[in-house]
């Protein structure tokens, strides 16, 4: 069995699966290592759906990467034969000065993105499931929608294997070392030892364990997703009638939701953004308690009156947060042969295909044309600036 490769990719979730594909596509001898099974539900790349949008209220600097992601989703779907992205339109709802609304307007204005601003009456007319307050508005973007994370991971893994990547599952990485000369790495797993010229680390919630020398503090946060069967049925929530949405409440807290994308019995998915308990992958509480269901229900019922309805199911995942909630995508500051992608802070999945492209650029060429200055880990290390 080959134990030496051009590039080893650690972690085959959203980002790692995309990186393995893009590297193999470039003719690299790739080994991908994953602790769990393909498309598993133990990390951050599951849950059936993730919102995608272009007018990014978090920072306009993300927009060029989103535009490229939209192009690449189409290519991945075409080449894999899987449906991943669906455009339903999306609304960012809140008072006019809320970040969700004002930040989206700023981003759209800077990049010339098509959009509309809807008052409360127009929101109710177009989307009868939504009941905003009289002083709330919505930023509407027709090109918003959702992507399916499990389908994305499996599509990228399929394309990676087809391009020649060797993929190992149920194999835990226990450590890695980089040659001080700047060339060569050694990766130790539960099954053996592998060497390569370069390493790409996409650890998700295992970043605090696998990137101890990066000098970045990560916090892992438990996130709960809920699927409710609306009162009166899911027909008004079908994707052709109901948008994805992010709703910002007083104080800045947000919840978000989706159409009913899994048929009449699948329910409509909703979740609170942030506010979860700190955890680790080993200590996360996978049980969802009645008081948590009651909490999300209190936010939903005044704003989507046919929700919560009946709880269909609930599931947990993890956010891996940086202090400023921006990503880390870069060559490791201490090891030029190591590339890292982590700290996606609960809003990274829509970037999966372009991150894969960026990681291949960094690993093979040492640089990328994509704008990633915002994601330099040194911003979180004042002593290194």
| Rounded (10°) CA dihedral 19, 220, 372, 361 | -20
How far apart CA 58 and CA 45 sit, in angstroms, is 21
- Reduced to 3 states, what is the DSSP secondary structure of residue 283? coil
What tens digit of pLDDT does each residue of 315-343 get? 999 999 999 999 999 999 999 999 999 99
- In the structure, what pLDDT confidence band is assigned to residue 228 with cuts at 50, 70 and 90? very high
Residues 51 and 350 sit within 8 Å (Cβ to Cβ): yes
Residue 227 pairs in a beta bridge with 269, 313
How far apart CA 119 and CA 107 sit, in angstroms, is 19
What tens digit of pLDDT does each residue of 27-73 get? 999 999 999 999 999 999 999 999 999 999 999 999 999 999 999 99
Residue 324, pLDDT score: 97
Q: What is the DSSP string of 235-293?
A: GGGSTTT--EEEEEPTTS-EEEE----S-TTT-EEEEEES-PPB--TTT---PPPHHHH
Asked if pLDDT for residue 190 goes beyond 60, the answer is yes
Q: Average pLDDT, stretch 195-204?
A: 98
- In the structure, what pLDDT confidence band is assigned to residue 385 with cuts at 50, 70 and 90? very low
Residues 322 and 218 sit within 8 Å (Cβ to Cβ): yes
Residues 15 and 356 sit within 8 Å (Cβ to Cβ): yes
Asked if pLDDT for residue 146 goes beyond 90, the answer is yes
Residue 182, pLDDT score: 85
Residue 383, pLDDT score: 55
Residue 3, pLDDT score: 79
- Reduced to 3 states, what is the DSSP secondary structure of residue 322? coil
* Closest of 63, 90, 82, 69 to residue 145, by C-alpha: 90
Residue 382, pLDDT score: 62
What tens digit of pLDDT does each residue of 254-266 get? 999 999 999 999 9
Residue 181, pLDDT score: 86
What tens digit of pLDDT does each residue of 132-141 get? 999 999 999 9
Q: Average pLDDT, stretch 344-352?
A: 97
How far apart CA 248 and CA 296 sit, in angstroms, is 14
The mean pLDDT value of the chain amounts to: 96
């Amino acid at each position: 069995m080959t134990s030496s490769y051009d590039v080893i990719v650690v972690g085959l979730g959203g980002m790692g699966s995309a990186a393995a594909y893009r590297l193999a596509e470039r003719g690299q001898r790739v080994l991908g290592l994953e602790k769990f099974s393909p498309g598993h539900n133990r990390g951050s790349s599951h849950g059936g759906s993730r919102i995608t949008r272009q007018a990014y209220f978090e920072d306009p600097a993300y927009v060029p990467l989103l535009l490229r992601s939209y192009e690449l989703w189409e290519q991945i779907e075409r080449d894999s034969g899987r449906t991943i992205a669906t455009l339903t339109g999306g609304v960012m709802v809140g008072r006019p000065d809320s970040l969700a609304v004002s930040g989206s307007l700023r981003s759209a204005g800077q990049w010339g993105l098509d959009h509309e601003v809807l008052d409360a009456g127009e929101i109710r007319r177009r989307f009868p499931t939504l009941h905003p307050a009289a002083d709330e508005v919505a930023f509407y973007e027709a090109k918003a929608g959702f992507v399916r994370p499990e389908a994305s991971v499996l599509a990228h893994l399929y394309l990676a294997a087809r391009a020649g990547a060797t993929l190992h599952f149920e194999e835990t990485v226990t450590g890695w070392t980089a040659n001080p000369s700047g060339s060569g790495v050694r990766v130790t797993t539960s099954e053996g030892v592998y060497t390569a010229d370069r390493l790409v680390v996409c650890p998700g919630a295992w970043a605090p364990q696998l990137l101890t020398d990066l000098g970045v503090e990560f916090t892992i946060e438990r996130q709960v997703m809920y699927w409710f069967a609306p009162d009166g049925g899911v027909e008004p929530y079908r994707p052709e009638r109901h948008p994805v949405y992010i709703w910002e409440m007083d104080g800045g807290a947000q919840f978000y939701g989706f159409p009913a994308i899994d048929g009449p019995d699948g329910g409509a998915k909703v979740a609170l953004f942030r506010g979860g308990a700190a955890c680790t992958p080993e200590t996360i509480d996978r049980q969802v308690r009645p008081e948590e269901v009651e909490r999300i229900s209190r936010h939903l019922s005044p704003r989507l009156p046919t929700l919560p309805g009946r709880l269909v199911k609930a599931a947990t995942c993890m956010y891996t947060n940086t202090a400023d909630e921006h990503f880390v995508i870069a060559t490791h500051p201490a090891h030029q042969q190591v590339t890292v992608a982590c700290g996606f802070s609960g809003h990274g999945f829509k970037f999966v295909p372009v991150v894969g492209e960026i990681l291949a650029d960094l690993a093979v060429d040492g640089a990328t044309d994509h704008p990633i200055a915002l994601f330099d880990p040194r911003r979180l290390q004042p002593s290194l600036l």
